[in-house]
Structures are given as structure tokens and as C-alpha cells.
Structure 1
Amino acid sequence: MTNPVGTPTGGFHEGELAVQREAGVVRDAARLAAMLAPADLRGGVTRFLAGRTFAAITARDADGGLWTSPLTGPPGFLRVASPATLDVRALPAEGDPLRHLPEHQPVGLIVVEFATRRRLRINGTLSHTTGGSLRIDVAQAYGNCPQYIQNRHLRPAPVRASGAEPVRRGHTLTQGDVDLVRQADTFLVGTTHPQRGNDASHRGGPPGFVRVEGRELWWPDYRGNNMFNTLGNLRTDPTAALLFCDFATGRTLHLSGRAALDWAHHHLPGDDDGTGRRVRFSPERLVAGRLLPLRADSVTAAPDNPPLTDRPSVP
């Protein structure tokens, strides 16, 4: 396996600190450093996890490629086995790039409750898989704010019939892929750090906030908690993975590639939240299918979504 990971020692790593300095928010971020303390899954965290039906995991496949994939199940599929151990009674769907997850690797998990706009971030090590379950030794677990989470009520949907719609693997976005990205109001992003391991995070905005220009995707970086976990990881390693889900149809688009943070875009078209920051992503591999066994019939936009300041480009 690639990307060995040590035990996190707490506090921000060098990439996060560098982005915080450039953004001028070191003092604001320092107030949140205690959130990175060793995990404690008791109390409210246990209750939150017990009721959830959707999560996304960032990990590497057997070839070392980084992907972010959905994990779904009925309430109770995320079970706290100890204050630092989480059992996930589910695997990525058949055809998913992480269906056969190698053990003993760092993983990041983001657990989202769209109906109440709550999310929990979990980082640790996949210690083993047993049958249809994963066991994660958790190093960190902390909540993120409800910003930019669209309100949805997810319900189970029939699993795609075997062979009804084959999973497509490739390197180039089709027009259907581009349409899915441009219509998306939500995606999940996975990043990595050579010592701290893998991380999964949520991004949301109005439909069209992810732009497609030629073979590249980009999106404006909105104001957040100033910790810059995702951007700090990209500062040290550009490897990234994106997951787009169409919650109306169950279509999914997994992208694995490289990303970078650009600065100095203040007041330019696309600087929707006025930060001057945008992330550019170049996909290198993709997996597309109908791999999400959940649906939502309606969506209510997050009240803090910034309005678009340009129109999506036409390739």
C-alpha cells in the first residue's frame, strides 16, 4: 500500500498553517485547534451516527488511486464499537472503485444528515474488513458547521439491477458527466496528507457553482471555519478525489486526479463569496454509474449559498 500514515499528534499540520497564514486567519483558526484532539465517539456523537443513512469515504484502491465513494445503509449501519472504533456495516456498491478496499490504510469519512444540515468528519485507519463491514480505528472526529448543506430527505431506493446499466470507467468526461457536474449543488471531496492520512469533506453551493472549462473543473472557495483541512492537504499533496451524486436519479460520478488552490481572484467573475480563492481540479480517471441507492424527491437550497457571479462556460 502507498501513503503510510502515522498517528496524528493533534493540532494543525504545516499545509493547514500555511493556508491559514495566507488567508490571514491564524488566530481565528487557533481557537478551533482543540477540535483536532483524539477522538471520543461517546454521547452525542454516538447518537448522531446511529441515525444516519449516508456517508462518504476517502481511501485508496488496490492500485493506490485515491477515490471518494458513498456508503449507505439503514439507521444503525454506523455503529460505535468503542470511544475510538467505528464499525460500518456496509461496503461501496458493486462497481464502485472502492468496492474492494485494501485494509490497513488511512481513511477519511464524512457523515452528512442533509435533512438537518449536520455533518461529522472522521479520520482514522481502516483496520480490517469482515464480510460486508468495515472497522475504522478513529483518530479524530469533529463536527463541521451547517454552511452550504442543501436540505434533502433521503429515502432508500432499489439497487440497480445487475447488468441493467454498466459502470463506465475512463479518463475523459462525457457531455453527460459535464451536465451532472454543472447541475450539482453538492459534492464530496477527498484529499490526503503524507503523515495525517486521508480526509473527506463536503462542498455545497447553488447549481452551477462547479464550473467546467475544457478538461478542467474549478469552484470558488467559500468562507468557512478557517481550519482549511482540505486546502491544507492540497498544499502538501495535490492528489484529490471528487464524488458527484444525482440524488434524483442515483447517478454517481467518481473522479480521481490532482487539484490546486489559486489565489488573487478577488472581484473576478466566479469569485462568488468574495474570498479570491478558487480550486482547480484536473481529472485523470473516472468511474460513472448509478451507484447511489438513495433518492430525494425535493431540495431546499441552503440559505447561505452565495449567488453565482458568472454563468458556467460552454466547452
Structure 2
Amino acid sequence: MTRAIQVFHTGELALQHRAGVPASYRDRVAHAIRHEMPQQHRDFFESLPVLFLGLLDARGQVWATPAVGEVGFLRSRDPGHLSVGARPQLGESLWLDVRPGAKVGVVGMELSSRRRNRMNGTIHAVNGEGFEIAVDLSFGNCPQYIQTRDLLWPANPPAPEATALPDWDARSRALVARADTFFIASRAAEMSDNPTDGIDASHRGGRPGFLTINADSSLSFPDFSGNRFFNTLGNIEADGRVGLFIPDFSSGAGIFVTGLATVDWHPDRVSGFKGAERIVDVQPEEIWYCEHALPGPAPLVSSWPMLAETGVW
């Protein structure tokens, strides 16, 4: 069994092949995906005040959501485990599955430095404060498309206040229109003991306007050049169910969406968006607007330097 088959499922491998990723590159980068966290990643996670998660609900729909706490709420007792000392935001409202055995995707980002690491795992144990994740796959990410921000979060933030929306309203449309960052969670078709079968949590960034609401209430966004792992798009190829968390960093509010995604490779449409290699469309099934989804604002310090090479709708 090659290393690539141990860390990529058939959907990811199919997308890599369609995108023309050379087998030599795929096999080389597969060795950067480990079955435990290196010390650098363990230290990194423990330094964060927020962790972005991908979790399933009781129906198998996938959601992206943050878990927040004071620095130290994330702990790693050994390379194979990460403890989260907080519950995911809207966990009860969305019926998120945080029982032992449930799959979870993790992306940690240090917004002040553009550092980013990811991990896919299985919930190993649950306690009164949160839960512990057993690592399935661990890997680093480059700083592409991350905007640098300051975290101006109070010590005692207000509790989240969430409302389910029947459709996009003026407030939620305005938030999407100014978003330069969102998080997307996706899932494999099966939730098995195979490390490649699980949930992935990832980040997307661009110029405000790179995420848009279409006339039919669907969302669209460009897929820019990345690490060519195709974790998110490979999951969409295999299953299609996704969740988005779209934060408003000016206030701490956020939008939570779950729905079904497809990937459009048509060159006429792709060429209409500068920098895009594909277009991803998401048909929402549920939309929630949440005040205080994050503890407070995180004002922009500087945008990713290459954003001028990307477009808006």
C-alpha cells in the first residue's frame, strides 16, 4: 500500500488526478500527513484561544463551528491526542455529535501570524468541559489567503444568540458581502475506522465579495490554487455535504450554513473569476445567524499580499 492511499481517500485521489497533480508530487506530500502531531503542532494548538471544528449533526449533515476559550483550553497530553476544554458554539442548537467515536475535523489558525495547522480525528472521550480528540491525520498548511488580524476579545464575552433563518435576510446578506474569510467543513462518504474516512475543516480567504449569494439563494466561491491535497473538494466529490462558518470579524457575529456542494469546472465560468481554478456552489439546507459567535471583534491588520491577483463577483 502506497503512502498516498493511506492518507487520501478515493474522492481526493480522483480530484488530484483530474487536476493533473503528478503522482510524484502526490506521493511526496503524502509523507507530510502523519498519524500523530509533531511537537511543533502540539505547542501551536496549545497557544490558541480558538479552534475551528467540523462536526456532524444527528442526521449526518456537516457543520463548521468554532470552540473558544482562554489560552490553555487546548491541551495535548501526547502526540496522539488533543483535548478541547470547551463545547462547540451552537453545539446543542445544531445537535452536533460530540460523543466518543464521533469524527471531527480541526483547523487551528493564529490570526496574528498567519500560522495554520490541521488535524482530522475521532472523539476519544468526553468530560464536563469538552472532549478529547484522538488523532487520525495531522498536517500543516501554508499561510496563503489568510488575513492578519488582532484579537480584541473580552475576558468575559456574552453568550451566543442564534436564530434559524428561513432564507437570507438583509443582515445576513450584508455579512456575506463583506466577508474576506470563512471556514468550510466537509465529510467523506463513510465514517469508518479508516483514517481517510472522516471530517475535514478548512479555511478560505479572498477579497470581500469573493463569496456571493446567488439569485436562487445558493452560495458560490472560487477555488484558488492551494496545496493540491484536495481534501475539501475530494470530500465534495465523494459525498457533497458541507458546512460553512462565515464570521463577521468586525463584531464577532457569524453565519452557520449546512448544505450540499458541487464543483463547477467549466472553463467559461471559471475564467470569469480572476485567480479561480474551479467554482464551488453550495445549496443551503439550513442557515443560522448568530450574535457573539466569536467573543469579540478581530480587526484587520493586513490582507494576504497576493489578494490583488484574485477577483470578486
Give TM-score, length-normalised by structure 2: 0.89
2:146 is aligned, of 121, 125, 149, to 149
User: Structure 1 residues 265, 294: CA separation in 2 closer, same or farther (over 3 Å shift)?
Assistant: farther
2:241 maps to 1:245: no
Matched-pair contact (CA < 8 Å) for 1:50–1:75: yes
In 1, Cα distance between equivalents of 2:210 and 2:260: 19
Matched-pair contact (CA < 8 Å) for 2:250–2:298: yes
In 2, Cα distance between equivalents of 1:107 and 1:9: 20
Aligned pair count?
299
2:278 maps to 1:283: no
Q: Secondary structure at the residue paired with 1:156?
A: coil
5+ long unaligned stretches in structure 1: 1-7
Superposed, 1:72-221 pairs within 5 Å as 72-93=68-89, 97=94, 101-157=98-154, 158-160=156-158, 166-193=161-188, 194=190, 195=192, 196-214=197-215, 215-221=217-223
Matched-pair contact (CA < 8 Å) for 2:206–2:310: no
User: Structure 1 residues 258, 100: CA separation in 2 closer, same or farther (over 3 Å shift)?
Assistant: closer
CA displacement at 1:274 relative to structure 2: 4.4
Partner of residue 3, structure 1? none
CA displacement at 1:267 relative to structure 2: 7.2
CA displacement at 1:174 relative to structure 2: 1.3
2:44 maps to 1:48: yes
In 2, Cα distance between equivalents of 1:271 and 1:105: 38
In 2, Cα distance between equivalents of 1:60 and 1:268: 31
Q: Secondary structure at the residue paired with 1:179?
A: helix
1:66 is aligned, of 31, 45, 62, to 62
Q: Secondary structure at the residue paired with 1:273?
A: coil
CA displacement at 1:307 relative to structure 2: 4.3
In 2, Cα distance between equivalents of 1:234 and 1:267: 19
Matched-pair contact (CA < 8 Å) for 1:186–1:205: yes
Matched-pair contact (CA < 8 Å) for 2:211–2:219: yes
In 2, Cα distance between equivalents of 1:81 and 1:270: 48
**What root-mean-square deviation, in Å, do the aligned CA atoms of Structure 1 and Structure 2 show?**
2.1
Given residue 168 of structure 1, which amino acid in structure 2 is its aligned partner? Answer: T
Q: Secondary structure at the residue paired with 2:103?
A: strand
CA displacement at 1:231 relative to structure 2: 0.3
Range that drifts further, 119-128 or 95-104: 95-104
Q: Secondary structure at the residue paired with 2:301?
A: coil
User: Structure 1 residues 138, 201: CA separation in 2 closer, same or farther (over 3 Å shift)?
Assistant: same
User: Structure 1 residues 203, 23: CA separation in 2 closer, same or farther (over 3 Å shift)?
Assistant: same
Given residue 126 of structure 2, which amino acid in structure 1 is its aligned partner? Answer: T
CA displacement at 1:161 relative to structure 2: 5.3
Partner of residue 300, structure 1? 302
In 1, Cα distance between equivalents of 2:96 and 2:9: 30
1:257 is aligned, of 232, 256, 259, to 259
Given residue 213 of structure 1, which amino acid in structure 2 is its aligned partner? Answer: N
1:184-203 per-residue CA deviation (whole Å, 9 max, x = no partner) reads 00000000001411110000
- State the identity %: 33
User: Structure 1 residues 269, 149: CA separation in 2 closer, same or farther (over 3 Å shift)?
Assistant: same
Matched-pair contact (CA < 8 Å) for 1:256–1:286: yes
Matched-pair contact (CA < 8 Å) for 1:67–1:241: yes
5+ long unaligned stretches in structure 2: none
User: Structure 1 residues 64, 23: CA separation in 2 closer, same or farther (over 3 Å shift)?
Assistant: closer
Higher helix share: 2
In 1, Cα distance between equivalents of 2:95 and 2:142: 28
Matched-pair contact (CA < 8 Å) for 1:191–1:239: yes
CA displacement at 1:45 relative to structure 2: 1.5
CA displacement at 1:37 relative to structure 2: 2.8
Matched-pair contact (CA < 8 Å) for 2:186–2:199: yes
Matched-pair contact (CA < 8 Å) for 1:252–1:292: yes
Given residue 248 of structure 1, which amino acid in structure 2 is its aligned partner? Answer: S
Partner of residue 5, structure 1? none
